[in-house]
């Protein structure tokens, strides 16, 4: 069995630059995550979206067809 470790790098200053200030900002943040899940594409430069996109692509590449059909 081969174990593969993946590391995701997110900017240390993320908390200082990426604030969710109100409900509308939270909704926009959520919409971007859902868009990444549904399309498999990331059109945003923020580190948190890039890291999530990378994570999601690795999960779908390593998952079975059966699991993907349940999405």
1-42 pLDDT tens trace = 444 444 444 545 445 555 666 778 778 888 998 999 899 899
- pLDDT number for residue 25: 77
- pLDDT number for residue 46: 86
Cα gap 60→70, rounded to integer Å: 12
- pLDDT number for residue 68: 73
| pTM (two decimals) | 0.62
Q: Nearest CA to 50 among 32, 25, 31? A: 32
60 has a pLDDT exceeding 70: yes
43 has a pLDDT exceeding 60: yes
């Amino acid at each position: 069995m081969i174990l593969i470790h993946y590391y995701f790098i997110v900017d240390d200053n993320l908390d200082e630059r990426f604030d969710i200030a109100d409900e509308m900002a939270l909704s926009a943040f959520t919409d971007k995550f859902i868009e990444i899940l549904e399309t498999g594409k990331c059109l945003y430069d923020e580190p948190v979206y890039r890291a999530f996109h990378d994570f999601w692509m690795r999960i779908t590449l390593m998952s079975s067809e059966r699991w993907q059909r349940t999405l």
